[in-house]
Structure 1
Amino acid sequence: MRGFTLIELLVVLAISGLLMSLVGPVAIEQYERSQFLKEREQLLRILEHSRSQAFINRSSATLSFKQYSVSYQQGNTENTWQFSRLLFSPQQLSVNGNGFWQQTSLSWQEQQRSWQLTLNPEPVQYQLLVRDPVPQRAN
C-alpha cells in the first residue's frame, strides 16, 4: 500500500502556511499600489483629454475637483468621474482654447501622502538654445 503518512501531510501544510504568510502581505501591498497607479493614470488621461478637447474645439474647459470626484465642463458637455483612492481638496482648473492651463499645478492626497502635478511645461529659454545649439549631423 502506497500513500503519505499524516506527519508528511502536516509538514507540507505547515511549510505552505509559512510561505503563504510571507507572500500574502506582499501580494496585497502590490495590489494596493497597482490600484493607486491605475487611478493616477486615469487622472492623467482626464487632464490630457480635457486639454486636447479645448485645443480641438478652440474653447475653454473647466475641471472641478471635490473630494473623490472630478467634473468636466465644456460648453454643453459635462462629465463626472469618481475615484476611490485619490482625495482632492476643492479646486478648479481651467484650460484655454490653446490647450494651456490657467493654474500652474494640481494637488491631491493618496492615503497620507500629498502629490502635486505641474500642468504646463516649462517655457523653452531662447538663450539656452543659442548657447547650446543642436549639433549638426556629419554628412
Structure 2
Amino acid sequence: MIPVAAVKSNRGFTLIELLVVMAIIAIAASLIGPVALNQYERSKATAEREALLRLLDHYRFQAYSQNRTYTITTTPNQLLIQKGQPLLDKWGEGSAGAGLSEAVEFEFLSFPQQRLVLNRHGFWAPDTIAWREGERELAHELNMELIESGEEVSNATRE
C-alpha cells in the first residue's frame, strides 16, 4: 500500500500558484516592453546614422580617387546624390533628376533642406551636414581638421 503523503507530493502546482506566477510575468512584461521597443528604435536610428556617415565617406573616397565632383541635395527623408556640379539654380527650380547617381532613403533620420558639394579633392562645401534623429538635432563635420605644422613646430622649438 502507498502512503497518502507520497501521493500528495506528486500532484504539481495549484491553480492559484500558476495564476500568481502568470500575473508576475505579465507585470514584468508590461514594465519592460516599452523600454525594449524604445531601445530597438534607437538602435535602428543609430544604424541609419552610421550608414549615412559610411555613405559620405564612400563618396569622399570616390571623389578623390576618380577625380570627380559630387553634389548631395537633401530632402526631408532622403539624400539625392548627383555626379558633377549642382544642376539647380535655386531650391526646386531646374531639372532635379538630371545626372542623378543615387537616391538613399532613411526611415529614422530627417534632414533640413541642404546642398553639399564634394570637390574632386575630397573636401565638402559647406563642411557640415545636419539631421534629426527623433527629437535630437545632430550635425557632423565632414572635412577633417587641417594640421598647421608651422605653429606646432614653433611652439615646440620655444620650449
Same fold (TM over 0.5): yes
2:120 maps to what in 1?
97
- Post-superposition shift, 1:77? 6.2
Q: Give the match's secondary structure for 1:64.
A: strand
* 32, 42, 55: which one aligns with 2:51: 42
Q: After superposition, where does 1:80-119 map in structure 2 within 5 Å?
A: 80-119=103-142
Q: C-alpha deviations, 1:60-98, integer Å up to 9, x for none?
A: 111111100111112556111111111111111111111
| TM-score normalised to structure 2 length | 0.77
Q: Give the match's secondary structure for 2:75.
A: strand
The higher radius of gyration belongs to: 2
Is there any run of 5+ residues in structure 2 with no aligned partner, and where?
1-9, 85-98
Q: Is the 8 Å Cα contact of residues 127 and 142 (structure 2) preserved in structure 1?
A: yes
Q: C-alpha deviations, 1:115-137, integer Å up to 9, x for none?
A: 1111111211221244348xxxx
CA distance in 2, matches of 1:128, 1:112: 40
Q: Are positions 1:22 and 2:45 aligned together?
A: no
Q: C-alpha deviations, 1:12-48, integer Å up to 9, x for none?
A: 1011112112221221111011011011011101101
CA distance in 1, matches of 2:137, 2:41: 17
Q: Which amino acid in structure 1 is aligned with residue 31 of structure 2? A: L
Q: Give the match's secondary structure for 1:89.
A: coil
CA distance in 2, matches of 1:132, 1:60: 39
1:78 maps to what in 2?
101
1:137 maps to what in 2?
none
CA distance in 2, matches of 1:116, 1:77: 25
CA distance in 1, matches of 2:51, 2:31: 32
CA distance in 2, matches of 1:85, 1:17: 30
Is there any run of 5+ residues in structure 1 with no aligned partner, and where?
134-139
| TM-score normalised to structure 1 length | 0.87
2:4 maps to what in 1?
none
CA distance in 2, matches of 1:129, 1:48: 30
Q: Are positions 1:131 and 2:155 aligned together?
A: yes
